[in-house]
Chain A
Amino acid sequence: MIENQSSLAKINDLAFRIVDSDLFYSFSRNPIVVVSAVITFVFIIAATFAPWLAPHNPFDPASLDLMEASTPPVWLEDGMSKFMLGTDDQGRDILSTIMFGSRVSLIVGFSAVLFSVFVGVGSGLLAGYLGGWLDTVIMRLADVQLAIPAILIALMINGVVAILLPPQLQHEMAIYVLILAIGVSDWPRYARVTRGSVLVERNKEYVAAAQVIGVHPLFIMLRHVLPNIMGPVLVMATIGLALAIITEATLSFLGVGVPPTTPSLGTMIRVGNNYLFSGEWWITFFPCTALVTLVLAVNLMGDWLRDALNPKLR
């Protein structure tokens, strides 16, 4: 009981601290950011609970009826009430597919960005702060990778994995391979920018001061240098999320993305793109709108977060 109470108190305390913080103050004062947060939240909920919320399960091919393909949205002529936003070329309900597809896109996007931020910032910090041969190795590695377009890196990783994995597993592993491929292809950008900033930061007095009083280098990096470079990294990461989702679509465009039977938002747009001239605009319009809304919301939040977290801007 006592333990419970204390943890309850802790939560209370935490909630109070959040509501009372500068961050929350700045958040609640910015209507655009509040709207963006709500939108992002709605997307995450819709994606997470898609199997229970969506009217159909577009990822179950057996439930599709090809004869219902290319049905227009419900308010148009020939529209069907069970398909609010119409169906695509295979008879998938567009609304449900957007919900399921956002799930795929969000998982791929977030995981890939996390991966490249973690690897990129980590190696950039080490390279910039410690210098020496480690710096040379890491930055040359980044150079090597930057010398090959990201799409090709992703293609290569896909190719290698396709050879290493047994055929039955390839289908299930496709999404993890994508995360790895996109994540790996993007880390050098973070590494370079991080290192560049670290080079400038580490010559500043506060770092020298910290060194003089005997603070551990690792601690200096994490406590003092890292917060100072989070601004550019956050900006990059927000764009990186859009980039990851678009890279996923481009890879699907080249035929190595997620399987066509479990489309992501990018795949839906890519497929729908072919129907732009034929009048079946809804196949690409709604997924496009969803993607733009989602990425816009995330980006706007990223912008705000960047300004809010930056001590220099307070």
Chain B
Amino acid sequence: MSIKFLSKISFAFVTVALTASPVFAENVIRWASQGDALTSDPHAANESPTHSASRKVYDVLYYNDKDMKMTPWLATGHKLVNAKTWEFSLRKGVKFHDGSNFTADDVKFSIERALSPTSDLKGDISSIQEVKVINSHTVQIITKEPNPIMRNQLTNVFMMSKAWSEKHKVTQPQDRAGKQETYAVRHAMGTGPFKLELREPDVKTILVKNNNWWGLKTYPHQVDKIIYTPIANQATRVAALLSGELDFILDPPLQDLDRIKNTAGLHLEQTAQVRTIFLGMNQGVKELLTSNVKGKNPLSDQRVRQAMYQAINVEAIKKKVMRGYAVPAGLITPPAVHGYTEALNKRRPYDVSAAKKLLTEAGYPSGFSIQLDCPNNRYINDEGICQAVVGMLGKIGIKVNLSAIPKTLHFPKIKNRETDFYMLGWGVSSLDSHYVFNYLVKGADKGWNGTGFADADIDATILEIGKEVDFPKRDKMIAKVWQKLRDNVNYLPIHHQVIVWAMSDKLDIPIVADDGVRFIYTKFKK
């Protein structure tokens, strides 16, 4: 660590001390959430809190706005030159924080950077073959196959300055096997609405208003400064909000919402998140790892899976475990995703006697035993949901042993097929069903589809959906896959997560379904 850096930090502290004085009557937002962004490098981590942080400093070509509607941002328009070539015209007069101009070269550079080997985004945009600069404000993106959702896939590809990156030797994202920290890990310079003033990972991040932001006329926010502190312990986080040390928390615990609501000067915002919680059952193996049934797999029988489905009282989970903050699900994808319909989301009725009957028909009148694997630090009240499920399945004779472990241990179990029965939640950044099918329905030996479900016809349809540019035809295929999934009961859907933000009454920040804060929509109340 260099002395130069340290002197910068101490300088930053002095400036904080000076500028924090209330004389200026700035509009400051002090906020917290459970975990910090992993890095300031916008291409180095494909993770929602990191994207959310990047979105404040960096801009994208297409922006998911507060209603999750894709909005032209640094790109002002597009045309499809041919099935594999997209042409984008770029916004003019956009300047980086250092005063330099944003041009087509920066777009080409940024997309290529996001495709480089050390980038974490390369999987999302792997369909891109080449980026061509047509003129200073026009670029073409050429894809390997026709790609109907190219623009959606660009909503997390942040635009960096080519000159700045070259100057600071950050033309590639941080190599995790490397030795030196790259400059972009704690520094950021984009065209976005806020400038990064101080970044101490896990401790504090300070952003200040970019007065030259191109979007200020359309989005005239009054936020002068944002101070972010991650607070991992949920009780501490709530305490800091209640005591007035914070103005806003992203993830208040559900049980404390009533108290927050009833505290003078605080209010809540809520919306349905683009994430559904469900349970997967391994129907593909000959014999389960953790069951007392030997020689056959009870989960291979559709009647058993349906019995388990109907034994789960999702309304009770919603009311007691989620305190009302959940939307019961009949489908493993939420309403915001293309392909979702109300009809598909309708649940089979909760009916314990019908479930028992189905189990008896399947040849398990007295049930069987199985282990449920569950994360305990990933989803809202994940362990509580699993415990409730254990009790409910117990009522139809299925003896469930619960193993609740941290997410780092849980997810590999699914991907390596070391679990019979597991909890998973799936968010959909592209807001399209194909994304869900690709990971959760398509047959695979490894990866996220731990159900062992593999159907040649369905797999072929999924492949088609990925390439089909005729939307009505594509929609029909999507509906077909969903119907198959529903009839076959691959998964036991629980609910669509509802997110709640808690904030001071002096603020009004509209809540966004992807749980990422858009401070540009903030309104202050005097």
Contacts and interface: CB of A to CB of B under 8 A. Distances in A.
Q: In their complex, do chains A and B touch, with some C-beta pair under 8 Å?
A: yes
Interface stretch (A20-28, A30-38, A131-139, A269-277): A269-277
A66 B235 contact: no
A277 B320 contact: no
Given A255-B405, A277-B242, A61 B316 contact: no
B313 A66 contact: yes
Nearest to B370: A168
Interface stretch (A181-189, A210-218, A256-264): A256-264
Interface string A243-263: 000000000001110011100
Given A66-B316, A256-B405, A279 B259 contact: yes
B441 interface: no
A260 B387 contact: yes
Contact of A276 (B235, B395, B405): B235
B277 to A, nearest CB: 16
Contacts of A256: 405
B449 to A, nearest CB: 20
Contacts of B320: 66-67, 69-70, 89, 91
A60 B401 CA distance: 11
Interface in B212-240: 234-235, 238-239
A66 B388 contact: yes
Nearest to A275: B255
B402 A259 contact: yes
A256 B418 CA distance: 18
A261 B387 contact: yes
Interface in B326-381: 371, 376-377
A172 B167 CA distance: 59
Contacts of B390: 61, 261
Contacts of A69: 320-321
B404 A255 contact: yes
A168 B255 contact: no
Contacts of B319: 67
B313 A62 contact: no
B72 interface: no
Chain B interface helix/strand/loop/mixed: helix
Contacts of B313: 66
Interface string B397-408: 000111111100
Contacts of A91: 320, 391
Contacts of B394: 60-63
A255 B406 contact: yes
B475 interface: no
Give the interface residue-count category, chain B. 35 or more
A170 interface: yes
A278 B260 CA distance: 9
Contacts of B391: 61-62, 64-66, 90-91
B258 interface: yes
A140 B359 CA distance: 59
B404 A168 contact: no
A82 interface: no
A274 B377 CA distance: 14
B319 to A, nearest CB: 7
Contacts of A201: none
A278 B316 contact: no
Contact of A67 (B238, B316, B404): B316
Given A66-B316, A259-B402, A90 B384 contact: yes
B356 to A, nearest CB: 12
B403 A171 contact: yes
A248 B259 CA distance: 31
A43 B402 CA distance: 28
A311 interface: no
B384 A89 contact: yes
Contacts of B371: 167-168, 171
Contacts of A166: 289
B255 A280 contact: yes
Contacts of A171: 371, 401, 403
B405 A278 contact: no
A171 B373 CA distance: 11
B196 to A, nearest CB: 33
Nearest to B367: A62
B47 interface: no
A83 to B, nearest CB: 14
A131 B317 CA distance: 62
B97 to A, nearest CB: 40
Nearest to B397: A62
Contacts of A170: 403
Contacts of A66: 313, 316-317, 320-321, 388, 391-392
Contacts of B406: 254-255
Nearest to A278: B255
B256 interface: yes
B383 A260 contact: yes
A255 B256 CA distance: 22
A82 B403 CA distance: 30
Nearest to B400: A61
A65 B259 CA distance: 25
Contacts of A277: 235, 238-239, 242, 255-256, 259
B377 A255 contact: yes
Contacts of A274: 234-235, 253, 255
A168 B403 CA distance: 11
Contacts of A89: 255, 320-321, 384
Contact of A260 (B392, B402, B418): B402
B52 interface: no
B387 A273 contact: no
A148 B21 CA distance: 45
B256 A61 contact: no
Nearest to A261: B402
Interface of B: 234-235, 238-239, 242, 253, 255-256, 258-259, 289-290, 313, 316-317, 319-321, 371, 376-377, 383-384, 386-388, 390-392, 394-395, 400-406, 418
Interface of A: 60-67, 69-70, 89-91, 166-168, 170-171, 254-256, 259-261, 273-280
21 contacts: A61-B394, A62-B395, A66-B317, A66-B391, A67-B320, A70-B320, A90-B388, A91-B320, A168-B289, A171-B371, A171-B403, A254-B406, A259-B401, A259-B404, A260-B386, A260-B404, A274-B234, A274-B253, A275-B255, A277-B235, A277-B256
10 closest cross-chain pairs (CB), A and B: A62-B394, A61-B391, A278-B255, A171-B401, A69-B320, A66-B316, A64-B391, A61-B390, A61-B394, A167-B290
Given A62-B394, A90-B391, A259-B403, 16 more contacts: A61-B387, A62-B395, A65-B391, A66-B316, A66-B321, A69-B320, A167-B371, A171-B401, A255-B377, A255-B404, A256-B405, A259-B402, A273-B235, A277-B238, A277-B239, A277-B255
